[in-house]
Amino acid sequence: MDRRRFLQTVSASLLTPPLAVEAQPAKGQTIGILMVQSLGVEQFRRQFREALRRRGYVEAQNIRFEFRSDEGDRNRLPELAAELVRLKVDVIVARLTPAGTAAKQATHVIPIVCAPCGNPVETGLVASLARPGGNVTGVASVGSELARKTIHFIRDMLPSARRVAALANAPDPFSTPFAESIRLGGKDAGIAIDVMMLQSPQEVDAAFAALQRARPDAVIVQPTLDLKSCATLALKYRLPAASIFTEFVEEGGLMSYAASDADVYDSVASFTDKILKGAKPADLPVVQPTKYELALNRKTAKALGLTIPRSLLLRADRVVE
């Protein structure tokens, strides 16, 4: 090859954009993860990392994580969110509504991805699902609708049920739509609903002691309460208990109707990927889960002296034996 042709070839290669490189994640980016301590945290860590890995992110190579958990003390969330802001992370992934609220209060600049957050319009996190309008987007947990649907599953399990209690986590902004949806579900099903607003996790024991005296036919538990303790106490006091987290059933709860974790966390990774590559949260419509799972605990049912109807078993996506 003569010198002139060689220089033409080199010049052309320098002017041609490296398409393969453009599709790769940028190096040195940091994801801040703000979490409400609850069941499923480890599963979230694992599945979210795996979903990012499928998109080309490898920890310690082109991405790093800053995990912050409230360790069961919701009062720590604002401090932890502020810490992530001081670290100048590239995006904050907020697991559950209280984390999303704390993150939004801490910054109007750093993008925030809900992972998921319950009813983000009603709780003030976004202006609308189609047009979030600020620095928050991600996955909207349709938790209030799931809670309403759970009332109907309770009726399928316990046809004679006439009164159901709901334990709501008052400091969680999602507690209001959660409670209202259960009331609407009760109205549809002809079941009276008694809502107990708990001000702190320490009130769970006293709440179940009160339920033992009141003897409702069943109880529904909001996910940001201590679900493991609630499952244990429900068994102790022989109360059929349900929630909208699948992990509740794995810990001994009777029933759950929840969005598929794998589906949710893959969507969270997709939002995170787009934002790290330059997309703006305001331009990314909030999505809702598309896959839902009914889970039942047959061992718990037996301990409570209940027989799960065959029709319900056939509808279940997961049965814990």
The amino acid sitting at 132 is P
Single pTM value for the model: 0.85
3-class DSSP assignment, residue 38: coil
Full set of structural domains in the chain with CATH: 23-141+260-291 (3.40.50.2300), 144-259+293-320 (3.40.50.2300)
Measured distance CA(239)–CA(196) in Å, rounded: 15
- pLDDT tens readout for residues 283-311: 999 999 999 999 999 999 999 999 999 99
Give the pLDDT confidence score for residue 26 in this predicted structure. Answer: 53
Measured distance CA(262)–CA(149) in Å, rounded: 21
Beta strands per DSSP E along the chain: 29-35, 63-69, 91-95, 112-118, 136-141, 163-169, 192-198, 218-221, 241-243, 255-259, 292-297, 318-320
- The tokens describing 274, both together, are 């787009």
Give the pLDDT confidence score for residue 27 in this predicted structure. Answer: 59
Low-confidence residues in the chain, pLDDT < 70 = 1-27
- pLDDT tens readout for residues 112-141: 999 999 989 999 999 999 999 999 999 998
Beta strand 255-259 with 292-297 is antiparallel
Measured distance CA(142)–CA(258) in Å, rounded: 9
Handedness of CA 230, 231, 237, 242 (dihedral sign): positive
Task: With CA atoms as reference, report the closest residue to 295 among 121, 157, 127.
Answer: 157
